[in-house]
Amino acid sequence: MLVRKYNLACVQAAVEVIDDPAQKDAVIARNLERSLRIAASAVARDEAKVIVFPEGWLQGHGFWRSPEDWKSICVSVPGPETERLAAFARRHQAYLAGAAFECDPSWPEVWFSTGFIVGPSGTVELRYRKLQEHNVEGLIPNASPCDLYSEYVRRYGEDSLFPVLDTPYGRLAVIVENDVNFFELVRIFTFHGAEIFLHPTAEDQGPQFPSWDQARRSRGYENLCYLASANYGQLSSGFYAAQAPRGCSTVVNFSGNSVAKIEGHGESLLVAPIDLQRLRYRRTEGRMNYPAQVKSELFGKEFAKRVLMPKDTGPATRQTGEETIRRLQETGVFAPVHVDKN
């Protein structure tokens, strides 16, 4: 089956945050059912075939949580929650993508922010663990596969780092939140064949915050890809300002233009047409075909010369980040802060 053009939806969800871990299952169930109803409206009204949910939309980011509480609110992927989503996907013959705080029961020592796609097969068809995690800033006590690289690759294989799912709606990849700021990651997915990036995100700056929006659009432009960002619309929690998330869910096309955007926060739904045929045609054109023009061999050499954030540190913490900055200053990648050279 070949689909040239279809609708993609981003559910800008109003999320109930798990304030009390004892309420985990009830809160997740409410978030799940509410967002699936909105998704159902996108299917009924717009025949959406690919639907994206925000990062952490089942559990909510609780930056005040203790490491034990964080782990206790994790889900498994696959697990009961993805099964519920997969039932919807099978029924509507659609693909659903999101990201959740996840712990693999076979590796209970660590947990991840995990992107996934469930599809018409009724199963989890793709699982991706966020690489550019905020743990290095001390924001969240989880892990990135990079922190555990050798063990991670031993368990899941190297291909598990950058998975791409081939579907009638294009080759789909999931990147999560902060990942969008790292062009290398998006480029590598493009090298692996990705065409449509589904970007569950959780951005809590105000609507006037151009940097991430520019980064998002640059990723589309420089990789000739679509990128669909679904952000939180609103949070209900004893610890959060209700309108703290910026919303601004956006779909960016292969020219770097945002083809659809919600201009602010609040629970909302964004639907955008994806012209797969046009994307594929654009990629056959030579002019400004960056993924084909980039000197990958040259930059592979260059990137290997200096280590920025190292791998295999064990689950990274604020200390890992601070040590990295110190090392970058000592090795001259960063200049020391106060030097009088005038």
The smaller minimum CB distance to another protein, of residues 71 and 216, is found at 216
Task: Considering only residues 241 through 300, tell me which ones interact with another protein, judged by CB under 8 A.
Answer: 255-257, 277-278, 280-281, 283-300
Shortest Cβ 255–another protein spacing (Å):
7
- Among 1, 68, 105, 340, the residue binding another protein under the rule CB under 8 A is 340
The smaller minimum CB distance to another protein, of residues 221 and 232, is found at 221
- Cα 337 to chain center, whole Å? 33
23 binds another protein (CB under 8 A): no
Contacts with another protein by CB under 8 A: the residue count is: 88
The smaller minimum CB distance to another protein, of residues 91 and 209, is found at 209
Which two three-digit tokens encode residue 256? 């770097």
Task: Considering only residues 308 through 337, tell me which ones interact with another protein, judged by CB under 8 A.
Answer: 308-311, 318, 321-322, 324-325, 328-329, 332-337
Choices 7-15, 108-116, 119-127, 306-314 (CB under 8 A): range interacting with another protein? 306-314
Shortest Cβ 125–another protein spacing (Å):
18
The smaller minimum CB distance to another protein, of residues 273 and 291, is found at 291
d(C-alpha 110, C-alpha 236), whole Å: 27
Cis ω before 273 (30° cut-off from 0): no
Shortest Cβ 243–another protein spacing (Å):
22
- Entry field: residues in the chain: 342
CA atoms within 13 A on the CB side of 206: 1
Contact 96, 117 (CB under 8 A): yes
The smaller minimum CB distance to another protein, of residues 75 and 131, is found at 131
Q: How far are the Cα atoms of 46, 207, 231 from residue 266, in angstroms, in the given order?
A: 21, 11, 10
Shortest Cβ 240–another protein spacing (Å):
19
Task: Considering only residues 152 through 191, tell me which ones interact with another protein, judged by CB under 8 A.
Answer: 161-162, 170-171, 181-185, 187-188, 190-191
DSSP string, 206-246: -S--HHHHHHHHHHHHHHT-EEEEE---EEE-TTS-TT-S-
The crossing angle, in degrees rounded to 10, of helices 183-191 and 210-223 is 30
Which two three-digit tokens encode residue 102? 């996840």
d(C-alpha 216, C-alpha 256), whole Å: 8
2 binds another protein (CB under 8 A): yes
Task: Considering only residues 182 through 241, tell me which ones interact with another protein, judged by CB under 8 A.
Answer: 182-185, 187-188, 190-193, 195, 210-211, 214-215, 217-218, 221-222
Shortest Cβ 130–another protein spacing (Å):
11
68 binds another protein (CB under 8 A): no
The smaller minimum CB distance to another protein, of residues 82 and 320, is found at 320
Shortest Cβ 183–another protein spacing (Å):
4
d(C-alpha 29, C-alpha 40), whole Å: 16
Nearest partner of 230 among 259, 269, 266, judged by Cα: 269
The smaller minimum CB distance to another protein, of residues 30 and 280, is found at 280
Q: What are phi and psi of 82, to 5 degrees?
A: -70, -25
130 binds another protein (CB under 8 A): no
Nearest partner of 247 among 41, 57, 38, judged by Cα: 57
- Among 146, 175, 176, 235, the residue binding another protein under the rule CB under 8 A is 146
The smaller minimum CB distance to another protein, of residues 68 and 211, is found at 211
DSSP 334: S
Beta strands across the sheet bearing 196-200: 165-167, 170-174, 196-200, 226-230, 250-252, 258-261
